[in-house]
Chain A
Amino acid sequence: MGTNTININIQEEQKRAEESIKAQGLRVLVCNGTGCIANGSNDVIAKFKELGADVSILTQHDKVTIVPTGCHGFCEQGVLVIIPDLNITYVKVKPEDVEEIVDSHIRQGKPVERLLYTSPKTGEKVYRNEDIEFYARQSRTTLKNCGEINAECIDEAIAKHAYEALAKVLQENNPEAVIQEIEKSGLRGRGGGGFPTGRKWRFTAANRGGKSYVVCNGDEGDPGAFMDRSVMEGDPHKLLEGMAIAGFAIGSDEAYIYVRAEYPLAIKRLRIAIKQAEERGFLGKNIMGTDFNFEIHIKEGAGAFVCGEETALMASIEGERGMPRPKPPFPANKGLFGRPTLINNVETLANVPDIIRKGADWFSSFGTETSKGTKTFALTGEVNNTGLIEVPMGTTLREIIFDIGGGIRNGKKFKAAQIGGPSGGCLTEEHLDLPMDYDSLIKAGAMVGSGGLVVMNEDTCIVEVARFFMHFTQSESCGKCVPCREGTKNMLKILEKIVRGQGEMKDLDTLEELAYAVKEGSLCGLGKTAPNPVLSTLKYFRDEYVAHIKEKRCPAGVCTALKVIKIDESLCKGCTKCARTCPVGAISGTVKNPHKIDQSKCIKCGACVAACPFKAIKQA
């Protein structure tokens, strides 16, 4: 085998890139991810430029450059603007705030206090980035560059060590060593199942010789998860480099990134990144002057959650209906176009360059015994700080929700967290100190999945949440195998019956029996995991199901059909306002006498509750 001579001095390239970045002077980092764009980040950038900030007039800095970056993760506080000289993050920046930032911060070095983040715990403004608790407890490695570089400029990535690892493996020219390093790191698939990545590479590499493919699964379909989008938008070169290293390790020269069509910005930035990398000789033919060729194509999805399943994804790349097929044969033996194929998801591949560059030991210093490294979670729902976070594997739910997430909104009580999206399960108060790693979560009846983490408070109806997930999986079922196609549909029907208040106790038995048959009998992962939300809520919140069925009562007061609106006779003054407001004439009574609601007519619209001047009408 022997070492290769590569025609690129990556250290030189880095130095050059660093210098060109230094020449930019003060870099004002404006988040330009999908979330911040929705909040108006393009207008903020335009305003900065309009004010001439990037041509550095009249400032204490020689030069100022406005850098549109990838996602900082704290989308809810967008538009986020980071100015590194004072290590400050401004939140919820509007175009009309820009002038003040330029005048005060950039020209005079005086922070704009009103735009600083307010800690939900202390109610005080936070000056230094590292004091924002959302960031303080994180270990951002995969996501690190996302908020720091302009994804559309390859030099910015190079300055952050992009393609250094690729240069290293090409120079050393030892694919086996690369696989060993990945194995040693303990990296496991970040897309759901947690299969050891190195082993997957080894299986595929065993078929070295003929045509084979690397496929990157960027079909991030779990509702409530967007870490892959952030990487593709914010640091595309990290992904491309990871793919090229994988291609080198398994002996493949062609790759596909399958991206959901709902991510147009990710697609755009990946295309730019591929083009720039090809121009630099980091992708394409004879990479860095060696005989290693690696071409990456982008395939857009067209709206089908099931295409996140690897065999369905390959069918979709081949232009077919995204219907999974049974395994074996595994993609490592017979995958895309019938050839050996390595499929990893975005986050998994984005971990690769750092493992190679910093070593397996560095990587495995994070995490737990069986789950190494860091994991991104999309923290959403009823927490104070929502957004994208990255923490070492094994961090507890409590740390995530109460430290990083800043606790439950509006002082409400924590009720449950749904982890792993529609394939995952519910965790409750008893799990707050559970380390978040693959094996502990499986034991608790949940899964890491893609890392979606939705926090629910006491106002959330758990049966309705189970119904919501079932509705999602049944409408996303591909329809191929009977248990998933018909089983999820009938599970949904039963759940709908229960939330309508028409459930019977025997429905719970049928629901459970069906859930196990779907879990065990389905063809692919979608069906096998679809019953998890139902099974885990049945396990931890059975009493809520029973309340819906036996007492016809929704304990959280969410399920419309079970709401009961009552007039408190002791408070009712007989003003008749409610009777006049009721759209269906369900309220009767005479002036100055307590009124009554005819429950058979009431449609639970709540109009009377709002109308009553004496707060005598209550909804239970």
Chain B
Amino acid sequence: MANTLFINGKECEYTDEPNLLEVIRKNGFNVPTFCYRPDLTQFGACRMCVVEIEGRGIQSSCTMPPEPGLRIFTNTERTRRIRKIVLELLLAKHDRECTTCDKSGKCELQQYAEEYGIKNIRFAQKKDNEFLPIDRDNPSIVRDPNKCILCGACVRACSEFQGHSVLGFANRGSKTVVQPIAGKHLSEVDCVYCGQCQAVCPTGALTIKSDVETVWSLVTDKEKKTAVQIAPSVRVALGEEFNLKPGDNVIGKLNAALRKIGFDLIFDTNFAADLTIMEEATEFIERLKSGQNLPLFTSCCPAWVRYLETQHPELLHHLSSCKSPEGMMSPLLKELVPKYFNGFTNENLYVISIMPCTAKKAEIKRSQLTRDGRQETDYVLTTQEIARMIKSAGLNLAEIEPENNDSPFGQYTGAGTIFGASGGVAEAAVRTAYEFVTGDKLENMDFYPLRGVDKNSRTKDATIDIKGTAVKVRVVSTLKEAEKSLREILDGKADFQMLEVMACPGGCINGGGQPRSCDNSKIKEERADGLYKEDTELPYRKSHENPDIQKLYNEFLEKPGSHISHDMLHTHYKNLFEHSYKDLKR
């Protein structure tokens, strides 16, 4: 049922919007905000979204539910004065070295300061001795407390998405800071590097640790060769950085842009996703037969793997031994590219992965993912970083003619592409496992109950009838939801045989390395739609039908689960709770 209220004199309709801010935005108006993030609980702290309501005075629109007949004014003298003072106060305490800030041009504080014309800061500025050290000794995230405006979005993300609360508020009043316990570095605590804190941060206080310059130096070095792999979800998000719509599939344009930048070979992680399904479906079937180590946990998400290693080492045996698709792809490329392409050697080849993910930057440094003393993947660039590289190369992705990637290791199926959305791995696995077990052809391969990336779809269950055997699959996104499923297992109440976990809400399409989307919940849904659309358009939709995959097994890997598969494509896990800062009763 639609009701109406008045915004700046205009009668506006609203339905189920949770707060006035959403109603304001829906009706073509806007108010600034730092702390409101639609997927997080309302906080009401920054006071930028204040509006004046007839008879109710000044209210923060992000916390006020709509009521019929309210008369709201968004730009009164009082609201503008509050916003300007808030900006002036924040800027006085802020490290204002904007030009060298990683968020420059994307910083909301910078944007509003410009829009509100804050030129003169009358309040005492931050003194040299008030600057706090920057936390940058982990592979994924840089935390600069001097740019923090205490909006608490990161604290809420860490708690409400991941249930992990590595970051928290400390101290009180003007001494308040956001930090891990006792000001430790992220590397000293059990941060899983999902990057969601960074994804919701309005300023340069949390940024992605950039590998762009190192990769540029590889690309421009004639002695070195580069091979790139691109994760499924990158293709439906990167376009946003170039004014294309969320969900627009830009894989062809990206292939072309990467070549123009000077990368030597362009492959697709989707191919490795198909490979993962071959291995994981086989592993799943074996576990179903033996009844051991069920439910099987997917292992594609490095944040999830690190979470289990640090929080629940007792459950590590549930994890699939399969490397993530990205993790499978790199050693294959290092091994096979020299065989297929001239001028490439194992020594001169560098593998660079383009990922939606900040945790990947940490994953590639795992000792289990090295070969002959070298990392299997040399560098990970997030979607945001590759966008910056494309821009700095003077290219406009929107106008580039699409190109194909390099073959082999380029062809992929719809099953591979949906890895990018929560539920995709499980759906892809079921499509293949069904046919592996039954030998029958699966006609209806759209498992809708496993799809959905919005707030209400963070735990999804589906039961699949595999010739009389009911197999229950559980899909969760966010570690907070995952923890609930783990509790069920620990309490002996779990009735599912497979658990797919993605740490980021909605899966990789909403990964910590993706273009900014925190002020609009719909963006991740549109990205997911882009992936499911590609799934239906591809010639093959089941991993085992991928001709290149079949060829790879025939020529090199023999069969899923073979000795060589295990050597190249599988991994093992470590108890990382031991000797951690939480391991106190040694």
Contacts and interface: CB of A to CB of B under 8 A. Distances in A.
B311 interface: no
A517 B44 contact: no
Chain A CB within 10 Å, residue with most, of B57, B122, B149: B122
Interface in A516-530: 516-517, 520-523
A510 B172 CA distance: 25
Interface stretch (B77-85, B265-273, B414-422, B535-543): B77-85
A478 B78 contact: no
A328 B173 CA distance: 23
A558 interface: no
Interface residues of A, dominant DSSP: helix
B86 interface: yes
Contacts of B81: 513, 516-517
A325 interface: yes
Contact of B89 (A479, A490, A523): A490
B484 to A, nearest CB: 18
Contact of B45 (A482, A487, A490, A517): A482
B65 A328 contact: yes
B86 A482 contact: yes
A521 B47 contact: yes
Nearest to A325: B44
A480 B42 CA distance: 13
A238 B149 CA distance: 46
Given A480-B45, A521-B47, A485 B92 contact: no
Interface in A477-520: 477-483, 485-490, 493, 510, 513-514, 516-517, 520
Nearest to A322: B172
Interface string B165-198: 0000101111110000000000000000000000
A520 B78 CA distance: 8
A476 interface: yes
Nearest to B52: A520
A483 B173 CA distance: 11
B504 interface: no
A514 B50 CA distance: 16
A329 B59 CA distance: 13
B528 to A, nearest CB: 31
A326 interface: yes
Interface residues of B, number: 36
Contacts of B47: 481-483, 521-523
Contacts of A516: 81
A290 interface: no
A41 interface: no
Contact of B82 (A474, A477, A478, A483): A483
B90 A482 contact: yes
Contacts of B149: 482
Contacts of A488: 174
B85 A513 contact: yes
A577 interface: no
B45 A523 contact: yes
Contact of A485 (B50, B64, B150): B150
B74 to A, nearest CB: 15
A210 B43 CA distance: 27
A336 B64 CA distance: 19
A33 to B, nearest CB: 31
Chain B CB within 10 Å, residue with most, of A326, A329, A477: A326
Contacts of B86: 482-483, 517, 521
A483 B169 contact: no
A304 interface: yes
A321 interface: yes
Contact of B85 (A329, A474, A517): A517
Contacts of B377: none
Interface string A62-74: 0000000000000
Contacts of B150: 479-480, 482, 485
Contacts of B171: 479
Nearest to A493: B124
Chain B CB within 10 Å, residue with most, of A326, A514, A521: A521
B73 to A, nearest CB: 14
B472 interface: no
B176 A510 contact: no
B123 interface: yes
B196 to A, nearest CB: 21
Interface string B231-244: 00000000000000
A479 B59 CA distance: 19
A326 B173 contact: no
B101 interface: no
B172 A486 contact: no
Nearest to A485: B174
Contacts of B92: 486, 490
A483 B123 contact: no
A593 interface: no
B49 to A, nearest CB: 11
B58 interface: yes
A514 B45 CA distance: 17
A310 to B, nearest CB: 15
A62 B65 CA distance: 69
Contact of A523 (B44, B57, B172): B44
B566 interface: no
B63 interface: yes
B89 A481 contact: no
B123 A476 contact: no
Contact of B176 (A325, A483, A485): A485
Nearest to A497: B124
A479 B60 contact: no
A479 B85 CA distance: 16
Given A478-B172, A485-B173, A493-B124, A328 B45 contact: no
Contact of B63 (A304, A326, A486, A513): A326
B93 interface: yes
Given A480-B45, A486-B89, A487-B89, A474 B50 contact: no
Given A326-B44, A493-B123, A514-B85, A521 B172 contact: no
Contacts of B173: 474-479, 485, 489
Contact of B93 (A486, A522, A523): A486
Chain A CB within 10 Å, residue with most, of B58, B92, B173, B176: B173
B46 interface: yes
Chain A CB within 10 Å, residue with most, of B46, B82, B171: B82
Interface in B109-131: 122-124
Contacts of B46: 481-482
A362 B93 CA distance: 56
Contacts of B59: 326
Interface in B8-56: 42-47, 50
A520 B47 CA distance: 10
A490 B124 contact: yes
B90 A479 contact: no
A493 B174 CA distance: 12
Nearest to A491: B123
Contacts of A485: 150, 173-174, 176
Given A328-B65, A520-B58, A521-B58, A482 B44 contact: no
B44 to A, nearest CB: 4
Chain A CB within 10 Å, residue with most, of B65, B81, B123: B123
A88 B174 CA distance: 52
B132 to A, nearest CB: 15
Interface of B: 42-47, 50, 57-60, 63-65, 78, 81-82, 85-86, 89-90, 92-93, 122-124, 149-150, 152, 169, 171-176
11 contacts: A321-B169, A326-B42, A475-B173, A478-B173, A480-B45, A481-B45, A481-B46, A482-B89, A489-B174, A521-B85, A522-B47
Which 6 pairs across A and B sit closest by C-beta, in order of nearness?
Answer: A479-B176, A486-B89, A326-B44, A517-B85, A521-B82, A326-B63
Given A477-B172, A486-B93, A487-B89, 12 more contacts: A323-B169, A326-B63, A326-B64, A476-B173, A480-B150, A482-B150, A493-B123, A510-B122, A517-B85, A521-B50, A521-B82, A523-B45
